[in-house]
Structure 1
Amino acid sequence: MKTRVYYDDTDAGGVVYHANYLKFCERARSDLFYEQGKSPAVNGGHFVVRHLEADFFKPALLGDLLEVKNKLIELKNASLILQQEVFRGTEKLFSMTSTLAYVKEGKPCKIDEETKAFFILVFKEHV
């Protein structure tokens, strides 16, 4: 997913505010579904962030064109681990690894086979 850095993404110095990297990654995760004509709410459930680790390497600035790249690290029975990186051209600015739990009615549950197949297909296309 590509996105431009707008004024409301930045602090007073024109540097992307740290929490906005998480928003960029969240949008990129949602776009994985939307690009396939689906909703992030799948088969009566949805994914929530259970854990994440983030590394900030260099700042993005007002007007920068950024690209968020997604990589599936592991697909488990009730969760998945996803790596997302934010680039400005070839320069890596941010990296995040998150564990996403699949929940229905607020409770963790097993990811159905159709949704697992969707992730395998989507990430095969994004390699």
Structure 2
Amino acid sequence: MNKFRVGGVVAAAAMIGFAGSPAFAQTNATVYGESARPNCAHSSKGVFEAEGEWFHLTDTCADGWDVVMKVDVAPYRSDGGYDFSIWNTGGRGSTKDVNKAYDEGTGVCVWAGYGEASSGEWAGFGPGSCGVA
């Protein structure tokens, strides 16, 4: 009987220690760009990876277009603007990885689409999503 009581005290102490530790609010965000071709579900896949603040942009359709990701970092722009864009010109199946550094708790929103990197023209942005560094 004493073994169970001691085990319960140790477990309770561990839970109190865990509850007192700082919270990690990191969340990832994944988005998909619309497709210009009916045979592809999406043109692009964009990911914000909170651990290490990585952005990954993958071209998911052999459609002849480059893919692009718009990024808005808190404080967010009220006019629908963004802080920077990432282009991937490598073709279907390629992924462009970009690393940034943000303070813990910083919000990051992303949108993926397609376009032509050389002209900077773009379209086909799907719904955005936000994560937290």
TM-score, normalised by the number of residues in structure 1: 0.31
TM-score, normalised by the number of residues in structure 2: 0.30
Task: Give the number of the structure whose alpha-carbon radius of gyration is greater.
Answer: 2
Structure number having the greater helix percentage: 1
